[in-house]
Amino acid sequence: MKSNFYNAQVMIIDDSPESIEIAANILKKVDYQLKVAINANIAMDLIKKDKPTIILLDVNLPDIDGFTFCEKLKKNKDYMDIPIIFLTASNDEKSIQKAFNIGACDYVTKPFNAKELLARVNTQIKLYKQQKELMKAYNELDSFCDIIAHDLKAPLLSIHQLINIFQEDYKSHLNDDGNDLLQVVDKKSLELIEMIKYLLDFSRAGKSEIKKTDIDMQEYCKKVFSEMIDITSDRNIAFNVGYLPIISGDKILIKQFLQNIISNAIKYTSVRKKAIIEFICEEKNNVYIFCCKDNGVGFDMRNANKLFRVFERLHSSREFPGNGVGLAICKRIIQRHGGKIWLEGEINKGTKCWFTIPK
């Protein structure tokens, strides 16, 4: 029968011909394209030739076990998005938990229940296709924003330059109010130019190719801060850096990330006579856990999830300048490096910016 799943390709990886035949007969009731493999090596060759929509994977294979093969696929950027349903004769909770931990999306126990197998496969294919459609729409929107930002940047720069020329050549012909208005227009044009720069940075942080090299985070943090200190030379800022490791990362993106979080710490400690900014790191389970801590204005933890949204701000631009894009860029950069980022804060007691980078 025809269905919404037409052209979906299902791969069955199982060393039991009997299990393959039973599963195939059930799945033939829907218009799936079926491929079978009796071991991981054959499966890998087939996947390289033609990527399947979904994989039904037996836990016990003759060459390597299903868990190891699943991990191998999930570590490969070309195949990590393939939904994997484990086939198992056991209802062992530990094995099921392990399957989910390494990236499986579901499991089916043997002997197969036809309705259950079809329902689980159909659900995962539907979710997979919806995810692909959402990602396509997101990428199209992202590209559209990129184009718009590019197209707006040039005329805004021209407006800014024309205002400067007008101020130089016609300043004496204008009264104080006229000159004040020109300054306001110039200021607003610069704000728009800066916002467009951040939007382009946001777009590139999600799309640019990652070129990883060794980065000494201890030296890099100090360097970024020293480059920014000239702007805040009249401030009393203690910048304390504990031991930070050498990581593998993209130097351009990591520098952009550090510039954003350090500038945030500098900005939100401007209310303090003595600002304190600390950088520390600990290692746990093959992951580096970094923290940038300050004694600034802090924030209400109920608003923590809002802070990584584009244009989201908890303070007015009069209190603290900015456009609400910096943390969204930071989140993209850390995610591109396989890490996570989150904030902790307390009103008037400061903020902690935590982020992880895999070893």
Query: Residue 231 pLDDT > 70, yes or no?
Result: no
Domain that includes residue 151, residue range: 130-207
3-state secondary structure (DSSP) of residue 271: coil
Query: Residue 21 pLDDT > 50, yes or no?
Result: yes
The pTM of the whole model exceeds 0.85: no
Per-range mean pLDDT, top range of 29-38, 46-55, 204-213:
46-55
Assess whether 197 and 260 both reside in one domain: no
CATH code at position 135 = 1.10.287
pLDDT (tens digit per residue) in 343-355: 999 999 999 999 9
Tell me which of 177 and 293 has the higher pLDDT.
293
**Residue 24, class by beta-carbon neighbours within 10 Å (0-12 exposed, 13-18 middle, 19+ buried)?**
middle
Contacts of 262 (CB under 8 A, 6+ apart): 221, 224, 225, 228, 277, 292
pLDDT (tens digit per residue) in 48-71: 999 999 999 999 898 889 999 999
Q: Is residue 23 part of a domain?
A: yes
Assess whether 173 and 192 both reside in one domain: yes
Give the span between the Cα atoms of 330 and 354, in whole angstroms: 11
Mean per-residue pLDDT, 273-293? 94
Give the span between the Cα atoms of 237 and 277, in whole angstroms: 7
∠ Cα 350 355 359 (to 5°): 150
Assess whether 108 and 183 both reside in one domain: no
Contacts of 136 (CB under 8 A, 6+ apart): none
Assess whether 214 and 139 both reside in one domain: no
**pLDDT band at 320; cut points 50, 70, 90:** low
Query: Any idea which of 177-181, 261-265, 335-339 has the lowest mean pLDDT?
Result: 177-181
Assess whether 94 and 200 both reside in one domain: no
Assess whether 191 and 217 both reside in one domain: no
Q: Write down the pLDDT at residue 204.
A: 66
**To the nearest whole number, what is the mean pLDDT of the chain?**
85
Q: Is residue 3 part of a domain?
A: no
Number of domains in the chain: 3
Q: Write down the pLDDT at residue 31.
A: 79
